[in-house]
Amino acid sequence: MSYGDDRTYKKVEVIGVSKKGLEDAIQVAVSRAQQTLSKVSWFEVGEIHGHVSPDGKVSEYQVVMKVAFELT
Amino acid sequence: MSYGDDRTYKKVEVIGVSKKGLEDAIQVAVSRAQQTLSKVSWFEVGEIHGHVSPDGKVSEYQVVMKVAFELT
Amino acid sequence: MSYGDDRTYKKVEVIGVSKKGLEDAIQVAVSRAQQTLSKVSWFEVGEIHGHVSPDGKVSEYQVVMKVAFELT
Amino acid sequence: MSYGDDRTYKKVEVIGVSKKGLEDAIQVAVSRAQQTLSKVSWFEVGEIHGHVSPDGKVSEYQVVMKVAFELT
Amino acid sequence: MSYGDDRTYKKVEVIGVSKKGLEDAIQVAVSRAQQTLSKVSWFEVGEIHGHVSPDGKVSEYQVVMKVAFELT
Amino acid sequence: MSYGDDRTYKKVEVIGVSKKGLEDAIQVAVSRAQQTLSKVSWFEVGEIHGHVSPDGKVSEYQVVMKVAFELT
Amino acid sequence: MSYGDDRTYKKVEVIGVSKKGLEDAIQVAVSRAQQTLSKVSWFEVGEIHGHVSPDGKVSEYQVVMKVAFELT
Amino acid sequence: MSYGDDRTYKKVEVIGVSKKGLEDAIQVAVSRAQQTLSKVSWFEVGEIHGHVSPDGKVSEYQVVMKVAFELT
Amino acid sequence: MSYGDDRTYKKVEVIGVSKKGLEDAIQVAVSRAQQTLSKVSWFEVGEIHGHVSPDGKVSEYQVVMKVAFELT
Amino acid sequence: MSYGDDRTYKKVEVIGVSKKGLEDAIQVAVSRAQQTLSKVSWFEVGEIHGHVSPDGKVSEYQVVMKVAFELT
Amino acid sequence: MSYGDDRTYKKVEVIGVSKKGLEDAIQVAVSRAQQTLSKVSWFEVGEIHGHVSPDGKVSEYQVVMKVAFELT
Amino acid sequence: MSYGDDRTYKKVEVIGVSKKGLEDAIQVAVSRAQQTLSKVSWFEVGEIHGHVSPDGKVSEYQVVMKVAFELT
């Protein structure tokens, strides 16, 4: 890639879920997207949600994000 | 699915169109998405538009929405 | 297509990049999307970014946009 | 109208009110706008509000929306 | 109430859920809020979500909304 | 007006300008709108800007707002 | 309170109404919230609305705001 | 006009359409507004859309914008 | 709970503060809310702020978030 | 300055604080910015916050705003 | 620069003005920023405004944008 | 500082980058800002982005944020 060349990227919205924390939830979604999409170039976090178990502990983090990759 | 397991969901933006009403326009898009995508888990309405015929009647409702499903 | 018929459209987020200008960056993304997606019906610009080269010249325009097409 | 011709549209913000439901509130505003404005081509819903009567029943739906028509 | 008098209102965010439709989901939340809060004066819809069952039917509408009442 | 009756309101965007303060800028726009539009029922402030004179004093307040009135 | 200590605050949305002006409408809501809630620490203005009487005078200012207080 | 004088401006939302490009679409709407409204003072672009013809070429640019003029 | 049953949820806005990190600030607010409200079902992060001590170290993270629970 | 000439402006975000009221808080920030920046041309209010003292009185208004000046 | 290295960037908000068009207004602001700031790396367009001369012609384009550069 | 005193703060937009995680990326930007600006008082996170390396691992976190300090 050189700056100035015609290129097209695509962004896909995914939600990564992990009980470990925010960074891990991001990595879960990136890894999953990498499997079936082209190589992910970057991500952008949209919203951060999570589930709480009955004992009041955060049981998982849900990160709504976009992953982007080049359409080659 | 159990809360706490690593998971990834995908959201796809669609527009459902129906002359019958808002709920029907939502169902049109969900049904169509279900055909070619995995099973839709939930939807989120973004915008509501519509077309008006020359006699001043709403001729169709257009619901811009996202449908979400798990990437298994 | 007739107004009032049940229909579903899909919107996909892409980024068109061109050094020539905004209109060209839009056309780059539309043309690329047309190759692998159905026929694009319309587009909606979201954000406009760009890269600047070390001599202070805009070296490319990046237009984040959605392209829409009917799910037939 | 043909795509590609120079044209101008105008959007006017109105609020339609009806006790019957959301679709009816939209139609109320479209019909009223059609009387004194040119023929309405489409509408876009902005916000949905409503009034509640003292017995806890929704007594009316208020749909804030824009109606659009061509400036011919 | 007379316009011009000092008054204070409070807004509470609730989500009404119903399988019947959007208007019913609004009424469910207003009725529930009316039980434990003061008399609800108006509502404002924020977001519209919903759940889809495995057979692709919308199984419920979820309307995120605010209900407002006067602090007397 | 009774709640539950079909009605339509219109909102018009205006900017009121005054050197005296925010409330006065609002009143300037409401008074001017009242002259050529129907009777204004309410207003909604959107943005607040202002001009600064060369000696660093705020020389005027500009309040971007919507005025609403019933279409009777 | 010391920075770095675990703490939780709550924000409640209220609307203060006064005919005198914006600052007074804010004070009305803060005073009312202070009566039944804990001690209010700060406020954040969200929207500014108002009512206009038939003679075209602003008859009251309505300030939609959040008041925050520590959950001790 | 002098800064500090009481004044009122009005903003009207229009959509300019042109096949030539973004600047031309803006000029189309400004020119059309100038015909029936007072003299336009400034414009503010809101959204940029466009139509794509079946051969994948952008067939027109649609610029949603506000035009502003003084209410004298 | 079964999907399709009439239900109502409530969302309350809180701010969790912790010096340890973002996940801990979320847990602080969830735990505190769990004490006096019903059982929290989920949370949604709104804004992330923080305080910096005079030596340039982040001394605490402040997470503005909503906690939601069912009104049973 | 003549319209049509190439020019560049800069906007800087500041927060003005005053116990007297909103207009005074704006003036405080404009005056302070005028000291170390070039001559301020205009301002744009972003958010309005404030502090409440333990007796429930608004002890200060905090106006988050941008001040703009020409880069000559 | 290598991905993964600790780095800090700064964004500054500027407005580029040109009578020639949108791309030229962007270049005007980038060139001016390049003079007194470090080397600009990229830009992000925020708003597009413009002035209209009394004969109804767009006399200048005003592009509100951010320019970003590395703090080395 | 005492509440009620006239004061002015300034906010500067920066992007902190770190491969270690979100909290570290925040600290990187705060530390860098502290070097050349006055003492930073607080920060506000705006957006969270990141880069992904070809093997599908998040190689760095990019936190777009504002740092604020008093203009003394």
User: DSSP for I33-52?
Assistant: HHHHSS---EEEEEEEEEEE
* DSSP letter for each residue of A10-39: EEEEEEEEESS-HHHHHHHHHHHHHHHSS-
Is J19's Cβ below 8 Å from some Cβ in L?
Answer: yes
Question: Beta strands A7-18 and C7-18: pairing type?
Answer: antiparallel
> Chain-wide mean pLDDT for chain L?
95
Q: Tell me the chain J residues in contact with residue G40 when contact means C-beta distances shorter than 8 Å.
A: 52, 56
CA distance I32 to chain A (A): 9
In this predicted structure, what is the pLDDT of residue D36?
A: 87
Percent of chain E residues topping a pLDDT of 90: 88
Q: Is the dihedral of CA K33, K34, K38, K39 positive or negative?
A: positive
CB contact at 8 A, D16 and F8: yes
- Here the ipTM equals 0.96
For residue B45, the chain D residue with the least C-alpha distance is: D45
- Alpha carbons A6 and C63: distance in angstroms, whole number: 12
- The residue segments making up the domain with residue A54 are 10-70
A4 within a domain of the structure (yes/no):
no
The answer to the question of residue B31 being in a domain is yes
Mean pLDDT estimate for chain I: 95
pLDDT of residue H38: 74
For residue B58, pLDDT beyond 80: yes
Structural domain contains residue F28: yes
Average pLDDT over residues H14-30: 98
Between these two residues, F1 and B48, which has the higher pLDDT value?
B48
Q: Do A67 and L54 touch (CB under 8 A)?
A: no
Do B3 and A28 count as a contact with CB atoms less than 8 A apart?
Answer: no
* pLDDT given at position D7: 97
* Physical contact, F and L (3 or more Cβ pairs within 8 A): no
Using the predicted structure, report yes or no on whether residue E43 has a pLDDT greater than 90. yes
Give the per-residue pLDDT at C36: 87
| C52 closest CB neighbour out of K22, K23, K42 | K42
H helices of C1-72, in order, are 22-36
- The strand ranges marked E within chain D are 7-18, 42-52, 58-70
Summarize pLDDT for I3-37 with one digit per residue, the tens. Answer: 889 999 999 999 999 999 999 999 999 999 999 87
Residue K54 lies in a domain: yes
Q: Hey, are the CB atoms on G42 and J49 less than 8 Å from each other? A: yes
Q: Is K4 a domain residue?
A: no
Q: J56 pLDDT exceeds 80?
A: yes
Percent of chain L with pLDDT over 90: 88
| C-alpha distance from residue K50 to each of K15, K28, K44 (Å) | 11, 15, 18
pLDDT of residue E2 exceeding 90 = no
The alpha-carbon gap from J51 to the nearest alpha carbon of chain L, in Å, equals: 7
Give residue B36's pLDDT.
Answer: 87
Residue H49 has φ and ψ, to the nearest 5°, of -125, 180
Contacts of D9 (CB under 8 A, 6+ apart): D41, D68, D69, D70, D71, H14, H15, H17
Alpha-carbon distance of E33 to F66, in angstroms, equals: 31
Helix (H) or strand (E) holding H30: helix H22-36
- Tell me how far the alpha carbon of residue F15 is from its chain's centroid: 6
Interchain pair J64, L11: CB under 8 A: yes
F21 falls within a domain: yes
- Any bridge partners for residue H10, and if so which? F14, H69
What the block records as the tokens of B3 is 């809360």
Q: Give residue L51's pLDDT.
A: 98
- Residue G50 confidence (pLDDT): 98
* Cβ contact G67:G33 at 8 Å: yes
Residue D70 has pLDDT above 90, yes or no: yes
- Residues of L with Cβ-Cβ distance to I52 under 8 angstroms: 30, 34, 39-43, 67
Domain count, chain F: 1
Query: In this predicted structure, what is the pLDDT of residue G1?
Result: 72
Tokens of C16: 């068109």
Judged by 3 or more CB pairs under 8 A, whether F touches J is: yes
CATH number for position L51? 3.30.1660.10
Q: What is residue H46's predicted lDDT score, i.e. its pLDDT?
A: 98
Q: What is the mean pLDDT of chain H?
A: 95
Q: What percent of chain F has pLDDT over 90?
A: 89
Q: Is J41 part of any domain?
A: yes
Check pLDDT > 80 for residue J37: no
Whether C37 shows a pLDDT value over 90: the answer reads: no
Of residues J22, J39, J40, nearest to F22 (C-beta): J22
User: How many Å apart are CA K18 and CA K31, to the nearest integer?
Assistant: 12
The C-alpha atoms of residue K22 and residue F2 are separated, in whole angstroms, by 50
Mean pLDDT of H41-64: 97
D46–E contact, CB cutoff 8 A: no
**Residue C23, in any domain of the structure:** yes
Q: Which residue has the tokens 């500054």?
A: K12
**Which residues of chain A fall below pLDDT 70?**
none
Q: Does L28 touch chain K (CB under 8 A)?
A: yes
Q: What is the pLDDT of residue L64?
A: 98
Q: How many contacts does C have with H, using Cβ atoms within 8 A?
A: 38
| pLDDT exceeds 80 at position L38 | no
Q: What percent of chain D has pLDDT over 70?
A: 100
Q: Does residue D69 surpass a pLDDT of 90?
A: yes
Q: How many Å apart are CA C61 and CA A5, to the nearest integer?
A: 10
Segment G8-50, tens digit of pLDDT:
999 999 999 999 999 999 999 999 999 987 799 999 999 999 9
Q: Is E59 exposed, middle or buried (0-12, 13-18, 19+ CB in 10 A)?
A: middle
Q: Tokens at residue L42, please?
A: 């607080």
Q: What residues form DSSP beta bridges with E16?
A: E63, I8
pLDDT of residue H37: 77
Whether residue C38 has pLDDT greater than 80 = no
Q: Tell me what pLDDT residue G55 has.
A: 94
What's residue B38's pLDDT? 73
